[in-house]
Structure 1
Amino acid sequence: MASGNPYRSSSAASIKGCCCCIVLLFSFLALLSLAIILIIVLAIKPKNPQFDLQQVNVQYINFASTNTLDAQTSESVSLEIQMLFIAKNDNVAGIKYRDSTFTIMYRGVPLGRGIVPGFYQAAHSVKNVKTTVSVDRVNLLQADAVDLVKDVSVNDRVELRVMGDVIAKIRIIGITSPSVQVSIDCSLVISPSKQSLVSKQCGFDGLQV
């Protein structure tokens, strides 16, 4: 009975040993890199992005009455509102924002949407971001239309609600963090005659996605 080739067995053992060494080396390098990243993150202590609605300007607002086929009258509203957001980055690293969409509502009825294009914000900086919400002849229920006309023409006080999500990532020495989502929910009171913001109350809810 022929015996096995000792040279072949030795070569196979050497190859297996080299593979184990390479796997261990890559594992060690991966753990070392992870440890370095964790140390940097803990040292920097990254903070969630601050994105606040600062100002609201009413460019115009207009109402139109139309008669339907069943002889009923409906109201439609057209308006344009400009919103100014303040983005503040207190981190020592930059923040990359994705496109953000904000919905403006009156008495729970969506009137229109504004989009803030994505942008990059440098460390320790404050940035003004503007978006315009254009509403073109949105039909309202008769009760809501009557209330809105009264709020504009009599009370000079219109209560609106602005909702949206801001998604951003923090970039540290070329490494991008997981996405951080900040949900914004603001109750506004605007003055159509002064075309300005009277008061606002905003809530923020941040989570990682």
Structure 2
Amino acid sequence: MDVEKANRSRDRTCCCIGTTICIIIAIVILMLILAFTVFKPKRPVISYNNMSVKDLDVSFDITKFKVYLNLTLDVDLSVKNPNKAGFKYSDSTAFINYRGQLVGEVPIPADQISAGETKAMNVSLTLLADRLLSNSDIYSDVKSGVVSLNSYIRLPGKVKILGFKIHAVSTSSCDFSVYTSNRTIGDQSCQYKTKL
């Protein structure tokens, strides 16, 4: 009889261990399925919604073939977080370039975007006139009435999914033209990239 009780006890123990192992395996499989479907990391995307000339002052020094250009752009951006978890990005900077030369920058403070949220940002980019004085192309470009510029933004951050932190970097680069005669922006072409 003692042997029979011992066998029953052993059978119950084996049954409990087997059930526990099956439950753990099922939970792991469920977490893997969720990680690769619902909680799969998606790329945050920066979009340019609108860009306009806020301030533009142009003056020529014909004797020295120099132009003095002060330009401030209002840029409406949005950052979309398609993940089921928040995207926390670090301090960043928006840059403005003229023919590959950095001519202006503005800081973008660190922040967080909730799951599925699209965050609007308004950035004022000011072109630093003193950085253009040594550039010989600016005179002819302003005289023609069209100044071609590029804006570049890089947002590095992290998405936390199921306890794991996944690094993500979202960048946007826009080439555009400023028409000095009527203070408008045209010929806008943007490229967006994200790396996980």
Answering whether residue 168 of structure 2 is matched by residue 180 of structure 1, we say: yes
Per-residue deviation, residues 155-208 of structure 1 (Å, max 9, x unmatched): 3x33211123111211235x3523211232221123445544323212233324
Answering whether residue 170 of structure 2 is matched by residue 205 of structure 1, we say: no
Superposition deviation, residue 122 in structure 1 = 1.3
Answering whether residue 30 of structure 2 is matched by residue 41 of structure 1, we say: no
Give the RMSD, CA atoms, in angstroms.
Answer: 3.1
Change over 3 Å in CA distance of 1:179–1:34 after alignment to 2:
farther
TM-score by length of 1: 0.67
Match of 2:16 in 1: none
Deviant stretches of 4+, over 3 Å = 33-40, 63-67, 71-76, 190-197
Change over 3 Å in CA distance of 1:91–1:195 after alignment to 2:
farther
Match of 1:61 in 2: 56
Structure 2 unaligned segments of length 5 or more: list them. Answer: 1-26
- Map 1:16-31 → 2, pairs under 5 A: none
| Match of residue 137, structure 2, among 106, 131, 144 | 144
Amino acid corresponding to residue 205 of structure 1 in structure 2: K
Answering whether residue 94 of structure 2 is matched by residue 99 of structure 1, we say: no
The answer as to whether partners of 1:52 and 1:85 remain within 8 angstroms in 2 is: yes
TM-score by length of 2: 0.71
Answering whether residue 57 of structure 2 is matched by residue 51 of structure 1, we say: no
Structure 1 unaligned segments of length 5 or more: list them. Answer: 1-32
Superposition deviation, residue 52 in structure 1 = 1.4
Superposition deviation, residue 36 in structure 1 = 7.5
Amino acid corresponding to residue 98 of structure 2 in structure 1: Y
Superposition deviation, residue 127 in structure 1 = 1.6
| Match of residue 151, structure 2, among 162, 173, 187 | 162
- Map 1:64-83 → 2, pairs under 5 A: 64=59, 72=64, 74-83=66-75
Superposition deviation, residue 129 in structure 1 = 0.7
Change over 3 Å in CA distance of 1:82–1:34 after alignment to 2:
farther
Per-residue deviation, residues 94-146 of structure 1 (Å, max 9, x unmatched): 11121221211122222101222221111122221111122343233363231
SS at match of 2:140: helix
Residues paired across the two proteins, number: 170
2: CA distance, partners of 1:94 / 1:196: 36
Superposition deviation, residue 37 in structure 1 = 6.1
Change over 3 Å in CA distance of 1:196–1:40 after alignment to 2:
farther
Per-residue deviation, residues 75-109 of structure 1 (Å, max 9, x unmatched): 33222112111111222211112122121112222
1: CA distance, partners of 2:173 / 2:191: 5
Identity %: 22
Change over 3 Å in CA distance of 1:207–1:109 after alignment to 2:
same
Amino acid corresponding to residue 179 of structure 1 in structure 2: H
Per-residue deviation, residues 62-81 of structure 1 (Å, max 9, x unmatched): 235679xxx95543322211
Amino acid corresponding to residue 61 of structure 1 in structure 2: L
Match of 2:104 in 1: 112
